Structure 1
Amino acid sequence: MTLCAPRAGAATPVATRVAAHLLALVDEPATATVRWDIDWQGPLLVPLADERAVQAACGIMHVHGRAAGHPVPLAVDYASTVAGVLAAQGVCAALLARAAGADVRQVRTSVSQAALLALAQYLAAATADGDDPEDGSPAGITGTEAEGLFVSADGVRFELEALDADRWLDFWQRLGADRAETGCGWRPFQQRFATATCPLPPGLAATARRATFAAVRAAADRSGAAVLPVRDDPLPPTATPPWTLTPFPEPGGTTSGRTRTGDALRTAGAPLAGLRVVESARRVQGPMAGHILRLLGADVVRIEPPGGDPMRGIPPVAGACSARFSALNAGKTVQEIDFTTPAGRRAVRELVAGADVFLHNWAPGKAARLGLDAEDLRAARPGLVYAWASGWGDVLGPAPPVGTDYLVQAHSGLAAAVRPAHEAPAPSLMTLTDVLGGLVCAQGILAALLARLRTGRGGRVDSSLYSAAALVPRGRRRPAATDRLLRTRDGYLSLGPQAREPHRLARALGLGTRAGAEVIAARARTLPTAAWLPGLAAAGVPATPVCTSLADLARDPRFAPALAVGEYAAPLAPWEFS
Structure 2
Amino acid sequence: MIAPAVAADVAARLLRPVAADTSAVDCHIGWAGPIALPLGDERAVQAACGIMHVHGRAAGRPVPLAVDYATATAGVLAAQGVLAALIARARGARTYGVRTSVGQAALLALAQYLAAATTDDGPAEPPGRGTATFTSADGVRFECETFDPLRWRGFWDRLGADRTAAAQGWRPFQQRFATATCPLPTALHTAAGRAAFSAVRAAADEAGVSVVAVRGDPGPPDVPPFALTARCGPGPDPRARGGGSAGPTPDRPLEGVRVVESTRRVQGPLAGHVLHLLGADVLRIEPPGGDPMRGVPPIAGRCSARFSALNAGKTTTEIDLTTASGRRAVHDLVATADVFLHNWAPGKAAHWRLDADDLHATRPGLVYAAASGWGDRMPHPPPLGTDYLVQAHSGLAAAVRCADEPPAPSLMTLTDLLGGLVCGHGILAALLTRTRTGGGCRVDSSLLSAAAVLPRPPQRPRFTPLDRPARTLDGYLQLGPAARTQLQRTAHAVGLAASAGPNEVLARLSNRPTRLWLHRLAEAGLHATAVCTDLRALVQDPRFHRALATADHAVPRAPWEFA
Q: Secondary structure at the match of 2:67?
A: coil
What TM-score does the superposition give when structure 2 sets the normalisation length? 0.98
Q: Secondary structure at the match of 1:147?
A: coil
Q: Secondary structure at the match of 1:57?
A: helix
Does 2:85 align with 1:103? no
- Residues 82-231 of structure 1 aligned to structure 2 (within 5 Å): 82-134=73-125, 137=128, 146-231=130-215
Shift of 1:531: 1.1
- Residues 254-333 of structure 1 aligned to structure 2 (within 5 Å): 254-256=237-239, 259-263=242-246, 265-333=247-315
Does 2:19 align with 1:36? no
CA distance in 2, matches of 1:262, 1:422: 58
Shift of 1:252: 8.0
CA distance in 1, matches of 2:386, 2:234: 35
Q: Secondary structure at the match of 2:260?
A: strand
Shift of 1:274: 0.4
Q: Secondary structure at the match of 2:229?
A: strand
Letter of the 1:176 partner, please give it. Answer: G
Shift of 1:250: 4.5
User: Percent of counterpart pairs with the same letter?
Assistant: 65
CA distance in 1, matches of 2:216, 2:229: 34
> Which residue of 1 is the match for residue 14 of structure 2?
22
Letter of the 2:87 partner, please give it. Answer: L
Query: RMSD across aligned C-alpha pairs, in angstroms?
Result: 1.3
Letter of the 1:545 partner, please give it. Answer: A
Shift of 1:407: 0.2
Indicate conservation of the 8 Å contact 2:240/2:434, yes or no.
no
Q: Secondary structure at the match of 2:117?
A: helix
State how many pairs are aligned. 560
CA distance in 1, matches of 2:281, 2:455: 33
Structure 2 gap ranges (5+) = none
Q: Could you tell which deviates more after superposition, 128-137 or 419-428?
A: 128-137
Q: Which residue of 427, 435, 446 maps to 1:445?
A: 427
Shift of 1:266: 1.1
Indicate conservation of the 8 Å contact 1:69/1:135, yes or no.
no
> Which residue of 1 is the match for residue 218 of structure 2?
234
Indicate conservation of the 8 Å contact 1:254/1:383, yes or no.
no
Shift of 1:92: 0.5
CA distance in 1, matches of 2:284, 2:497: 62
CA distance in 1, matches of 2:243, 2:206: 53
Cα shift readout 1:156-214 (whole Å, capped 9, x = no counterpart): 00011011111111111111110011000000000000000000000000000001100
Letter of the 1:540 partner, please give it. Answer: G
> Which residue of 2 is the match for residue 51 of structure 1?
42
> Which residue of 1 is the match for residue 365 of structure 2?
383
What TM-score does the superposition give when structure 1 sets the normalisation length? 0.95
Shift of 1:257: 9.0
Indicate conservation of the 8 Å contact 1:437/1:468, yes or no.
yes
Q: Which residue of 226, 229, 232 maps to 1:246?
A: 229
CA distance in 1, matches of 2:99, 2:256: 22
Shift of 1:516: 1.5
> Which residue of 1 is the match for residue 464 of structure 2?
480
> Which residue of 2 is the match for residue 498 of structure 1?
482
> Which residue of 2 is the match for residue 67 of structure 1?
58
Structure 1 gap ranges (5+) = 1-8, 139-145
Q: Secondary structure at the match of 1:26?
A: coil
> Which residue of 1 is the match for residue 534 of structure 2?
549
CA distance in 2, matches of 1:261, 1:322: 31
Cα shift readout 1:60-119 (whole Å, capped 9, x = no counterpart): 000000000000000000001110000000011011111111110100000000000000
Shift of 1:472: 0.4
Q: 1:197 to 1:560 in 2, by over 3 A?
A: same
Shift of 1:258: 10
Shift of 1:259: 3.8
> Which residue of 2 is the match for residue 573 of structure 1?
558
Q: Which residue of 505, 511, 518 maps to 2:496?
A: 511
